[in-house]
Structure 1
Amino acid sequence: MTAYQRAQEAGQEAVRAAILDAATHLLVTEGASALTVRGISAAVGCSTKVIYTLFGGKDGLVQALWLEGFARFERRLLAASDDPDPLVRLMECGTAYRAYALAEPDYYRVMFEGALQGFVPSSEALECSRRTFDILTAHVAACLEAGRLRGGTAEEIADLLWMASHGATSLELSGHLTGEQAEQRHKLLCRSLIRAFQTSEERTPP
């Protein structure tokens, strides 16, 4: 049974997801030249007509790859934590960043490592990506409002946390850090950066 046949049994959304997953994997493993409607249909086991019907062609599919990646990322961040402590929620947001990259490495490379060379995101795609950063910024803002952090704006601190988490995660995906060591280093990095903005009374990491 092909990926397409399995997805058919689960409905149209599953078919759409199967096509996007296959396209993302082809792009990351074989390069942009492999991202053709014919190549994707062969990988999934469906006709090219299915792809044209769902996405309107290659350009629509490329936009959909970006949107799907950030939609999954957004869901992961939103589900990260409902702890009443804003500092804990902030730490869990960083943990969710790494967890998403490990669970969806192909999408992560499309979203953050330039796999879609020459791609110009639509206004909808840019808004989708912006929402994920807004989640992190909101957690930082909650910490500032509660007096748990100081020394920068919510956007500035969120930028630094994103940069740190992205760097550590990308090194792990590249094989420079592995397993338990990578997890420990990521936590230490996030905690150390947060600690730099904590008030003197808050210098115990969450």
Structure 2
Amino acid sequence: MPGELPADVHDTTTSPVPTGPAVERGPRERILDATTALLAEGGREAVSTRAVGAAAGVQAPTIYRLFGDKQGLFDAVAAEGFRAYLDSKTAREPLTDPVDDLRAGWDLHIGFGLANPALYQLMCEPRPGAVPPAAAAGADILAAHIRRIAEAGRLRIGEERATHLVQAAGTGAALTLIAMPEERRDLDLSLDAREAVIAAITTEAPVLADPGPVGAAVALRAALPGATALTDLERALLREWLDRIAGTAEPR
């Protein structure tokens, strides 16, 4: 049901550690697998060059040659985590109701974090440089969820702001639950946060039932890419106007 987290949420999320029949994997893959497994078993404190090398069957110079240093190794593991998370997001079929689809995506996000707590915390660490491609693709999936709600006329605020609100609340809820002792973990916290965010960004009925300009601007902004009668310049100008009406543009 949309209002409940899956009962077996710990067992159904994708793990970046490969399972099943053994396959031939090179040193880089074995090092990443070993690091991910050590993270899952003992957290960051369990990850040392010696422990990774022993588990992966390589010498320390191989780790340094492939990843530079320990932080480089952690960055690579985080990128693999984003890839596994992206695979779990794209594997499911979208639901008919875009708001229920957002609920399902939220639950999947929380489930992944609870199933892979040390990896999730590593993925959430701020790091300089380019965003991993899988992380950027995951953000695009969330933006697409929000776009579907906007196209249905049920988004009450601008798409970018709505995306940031869902992202911030979902990450915060996952990290808060991870920090709780497992025997005292309150999954209703995630459900309450999810419904609070959904109430803040969506309406039950299409917002165009309200004659105000904000709802009309949000809905038209979502449909703008399909306005083929306009030139690229005209679309860009109209997008700026609609963003101002919807309250999403920065004041000048």
* TM-score between the two structures when normalised by the length of structure 2: 0.61
Call closer, same or farther: CA 1:66–1:27 in 2, change over 3 Å: farther
Call closer, same or farther: CA 1:49–1:156 in 2, change over 3 Å: same
C-alpha distance in 1 between matches for 2:61 and 2:186: 41
Residue type at the aligned position of 2:97: D
- Find 1:186's aligned residue among 182, 190, 197: 190
SS of the aligned residue for 1:93 comes to helix
1:21 maps to 2:36: yes
Task: Count how many residue pairs are aligned between Structure 1 and Structure 2.
Answer: 186
Identity among equivalent pairs (%): 22
**C-alpha deviations, 1:124-157, integer Å up to 9, x for none?**
x43332221111111011100111222x222211
1:196 maps to 2:200: yes
Call closer, same or farther: CA 1:21–1:157 in 2, change over 3 Å: same
C-alpha distance in 1 between matches for 2:42 and 2:76: 14
C-alpha distance in 1 between matches for 2:183 and 2:125: 19
SS of the aligned residue for 1:83 comes to coil
Q: Any unmatched runs of 5+ in structure 1?
A: 1-5
Asked if structure 1 preserves the Cα contact closer than 8 Å seen for 2:152 and 2:206, the reply is no
C-alpha distance in 2 between matches for 1:105 and 1:52: 24
1:82 maps to 2:97: no
- Find 2:151's aligned residue among 145, 151, 160: 145
Call closer, same or farther: CA 1:140–1:166 in 2, change over 3 Å: same
C-alpha distance in 2 between matches for 1:69 and 1:55: 18
1:48 maps to 2:59: yes
C-alpha distance in 1 between matches for 2:82 and 2:139: 10
1:167 maps to 2:179: no
- Find 1:61's aligned residue among 73, 76, 80: 73
Call closer, same or farther: CA 1:23–1:85 in 2, change over 3 Å: same
Call closer, same or farther: CA 1:82–1:131 in 2, change over 3 Å: same
* TM-score between the two structures when normalised by the length of structure 1: 0.73
Based on CA coordinates, which of the two structures has the bigger radius of gyration? Answer: 2
Asked if structure 2 preserves the Cα contact closer than 8 Å seen for 1:8 and 1:15, the reply is no
Per the TM alignment, residue 70 of structure 1 is displaced from its structure 2 partner at its CA by 0.8
Aligned CA-pair RMSD: 3.4
